[in-house]
């Protein structure tokens, strides 16, 4: 199989790696780069646990050919916190007990981040739509929706308060 060189930004840091023909981005991030925060849930693009942001937009990394991210900016949950300071979404997920097994949490956080980055004050319906591609089997979604609304409120407070 042909190997191709590939360069991209991962959480603000430059990465130069080789990718195998047909390798998906999830596999590249996990096994090629060693960022284990995106999770494998289905490999079919139906569960959202592998969600990452490419240039700020949520993508299913299991359905994304690795070679297509050349020159682009990728954000994973590993890049959410600023140093030791958690992202408001992370704090809100903790405070709202929005994680049980935690396996869907990285994907949920990124879907939520993409929403809040483009819409800092979403309605409940907009939150629901933003995470509707992410499956959670534990929480019944209610605490996750509440956490995202809570995070939006906190961020706005911090920004304008």
Partner 1 sequence: MIEFRKEYFADERDDNLNEIGKPTQRQDALGHVTGRSPYFDDHLFEGLLHIRCVRSPHDHARIRRIDTSAAERMPGVVRIVLGKDVPNNLNTLLSLLDFGIDDEPLISDKKVSYKGEPVAAVIAESERAARDAVAQVRVDWEVLPAVLDVEEAIKPGAPVVNDVYPGNRFVYHGKYDHQKLRFGDVEAAFRQADRIIEGRYQMSPIEQAPTETCGAIAAPETNDRYVVYTSTQALFFSLDTTSKLLRVPSNRLHLIGGTVGGGFGGKVDSLHEPMAVLGTMLTGRPCKYIFDRHEEMQVGAPRGAERWYLKDGVMNDGRIIARKFTGYFDSGAYTRLSSYAIIKAVGHLPGPYTIPNVYADVYCVFTNRTPATAMRGFGITGVDFAIECHMDKIAHELGMDPIELRILNAYRDGDMKAHRRLAKNTALIECCHVAAEKAGWPLSQAARQASSLRDGGGARAEIPHTVTDQHGRVEGYTAGSYAQKKRPSGPAGQARGPQSPASHPSRDSIAVPSSFDRAPQPMSRPAPSAPPASAAVAPPPPPAAQRPAEQHAPEQRRVTRFSSISGLRRR
Partner 2 sequence: MALHRGRGFAAINYPIGMNLGGDPSQALVHSNPGGKFMVALSSIDLGQGMKSVTRQIAAETLGVPVEDVYVDTADSDTGPHCMGSFASRGTHRVGNAVIEAAREARAVMLEAAAEELEVDPGDLVTDGQGNIHVKGAPSRTITTAEACAAAQFRQGRTVSGRGIFLIPLSEVDPETGEQTPVSCFAHAAMIVEVEVDDETGEVAVLEMNSAYELGRALNPKLVEQQLVGGAWMGMSHAAWETTEPYYPDRDHGPIDFNSYLMPGPGDIAPHSIAVLERPAPDGPYGGKGPGEMCANPVLPAVANAVFNAVGVRIDELPITPEKVLRGIRANGGARPQGRP
In the chain, what is the straight-line distance between the N-terminal and C-terminal CA atoms, in Å? Answer: 55
Q: Smaller CB distance to partner 2: residue 36 or 42?
A: 42
As given in the structure block, the two tokens for residue 149 are 């609304």
Interaction partner, residue 86 (partner 2, partner 1, none; CB < 5-8 Å by kind): partner 1
Helices marked H in the chain — which ranges?
Answer: 25-27, 88-95, 105-118, 124-130, 142-160
Q: Mask of contacts with partner 2, 29-68, x by CB under 8 A?
A: -------------x-x-xx---------------------
83 and 64 in contact (C-beta within 8 Å)? no
| Number of neighbours of residue 54 by Cβ within 10 angstroms | 17
Q: Mask of contacts with partner 2, 80-119, x by CB under 8 A?
A: -----------------x--xxxx----------------
Q: Smaller CB distance to partner 1: residue 42 or 71?
A: 42
Q: Does 123 bind partner 2 (CB under 8 A)?
A: no
d(CA 161, CA 158): 5
Whose structure tokens read 């605490």? 143
Q: Does 102 bind partner 1 (CB under 8 A)?
A: yes
Q: Does 58 bind partner 1 (CB under 8 A)?
A: no
Q: Does 138 bind partner 2 (CB under 8 A)?
A: yes
Q: Does 144 bind partner 2 (CB under 8 A)?
A: yes
d(CA 112, CA 110): 5
Q: Does 65 bind partner 1 (CB under 8 A)?
A: no
d(CA 40, CA 5): 24
Residues that bind partner 1 (CB under 8 A): 22, 31, 34, 36-44, 46-47, 49, 76-78, 80-81, 86, 89-91, 93-94, 97, 99-106, 109, 135-138
């Amino acid at each position: 199989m042909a190997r191709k060189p590939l360069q991209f930004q991962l959480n603000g840091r430059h990465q130069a790696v080789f990718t195998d023909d047909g390798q998906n981005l999830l596999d590249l991030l996990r096994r090629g780069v060693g960022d284990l925060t995106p999770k494998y849930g289905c490999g079919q693009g139906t569960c959202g646990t592998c969600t990452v942001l490419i240039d700020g937009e949520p993508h299913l990394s299991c359905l994304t050919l690795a070679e297509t991210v050349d020159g682009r900016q990728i954000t994973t949950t590993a890049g959410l916190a600023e140093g030791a300071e958690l992202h408001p979404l992370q704090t809100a997920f903790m405070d709202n007990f929005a994680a049980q097994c935690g396996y869907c949490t990285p994907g949920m956080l990124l879907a939520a981040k993409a929403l809040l980055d483009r819409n800092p004050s979403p309605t409940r319906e907009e939150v629901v739509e933003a995470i509707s591609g992410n499956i959670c089997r534990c929480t019944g979604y209610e605490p996750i929706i509440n956490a995202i609304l809570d995070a939006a409120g906190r961020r706005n407070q911090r920004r304008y308060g």
